[in-house]
Amino acid sequence: MASGASSRDKVTIKIPRSLYERLRAIVEDSGFDSVTDFVVYVLRDLVAAQAQEQGDSAPLTAQ
């Protein structure tokens, strides 16, 4: 894996195939390299927004 990340640093999240296909179509027209990259970006943004609302200033790591 890139950047020395081990398989213990990641988990699998299952989503419906129909959602995956819609996300793949979005990714094709974006600057993201993969559906995974896009989903990680969106989830980080969502978690950061919620943390900001709750006053949690702990940064999310890039992994």
Domain residue ranges of the chain, discontinuous segments joined by +: 2-53
pLDDT, average across residues 22-36: 95
Residue 11's pLDDT band (cuts 50, 70, 90) = very high
Check: CB of residue 32 under 8 Å from CB of residue 38.
yes
Q: Is residue 42 pLDDT above 70, yes or no?
A: yes
| Residue recorded with tokens 């979005």 | 26
Q: pTM higher than 0.85 for the full model?
A: no
Check: CB of residue 32 under 8 Å from CB of residue 41.
yes
